[in-house]
Amino acid sequence: ANPVVKCLLEVAWWNGAMKVDLVQLMLSIWALTLLIIDTYCGILVVSNPHSGLSNSADGNGSNLGAFNGTADATPAHASVSNHRAALATSGDFVMARAVVDFVHEFAQLLGYFLIGRWKDYFDWGNAYDLIRCALPLVLFIRPDSRLLQMFVIFLYWMRLLEFNFW
């Protein structure tokens, strides 16, 4: 390896690219924290006063999501509007980040197109990046899907592993 090229790459990494990677790491940690907290709170603090459900059978919160005896009650986790409210904080952040990631992917494709190498964009790495952008956006359409939430949380854990320490 040429020492000049090695030095230039190291300078470029420590003066610019590392900072972008660090911001990505912090955003991933924040999104993951919000998702986990909202998912946990979405399970524990879901109550619809119109459905006959309360968040406890005895009024002190010990039996969460208990049925209070009215005939029209449905499980609280089945209510999409309740779940949207439970995921409001993390959902907004995760979807905004997904939109920004899509814009980044579009800019990357445009860059490949402008240099005449648009076919080079279509590889497994960019396919993974597109899935990583699209899956959180599907959460906007299906906020009640626990499986989808699990995959989005898993993707954010994977983003933590992508951070380059060196």
pLDDT reported for residue 109: 95
Q: Write out pLDDT tens, residues 129-151.
A: 999 889 988 887 887 788 888 88
Q: Write out pLDDT tens, residues 11-48.
A: 887 888 788 888 888 998 998 888 888 777 765 333 34
Average pLDDT, the chain: 74
Task: Enumerate the β-bridge partners of residue 53.
Answer: 67
Instruction: Report pTM.
Output: 0.63
Closest CA to 133 of 107, 91, 94, 162: 94
pLDDT reported for residue 18: 80
Closest CA to 149 of 16, 15, 53, 39: 39
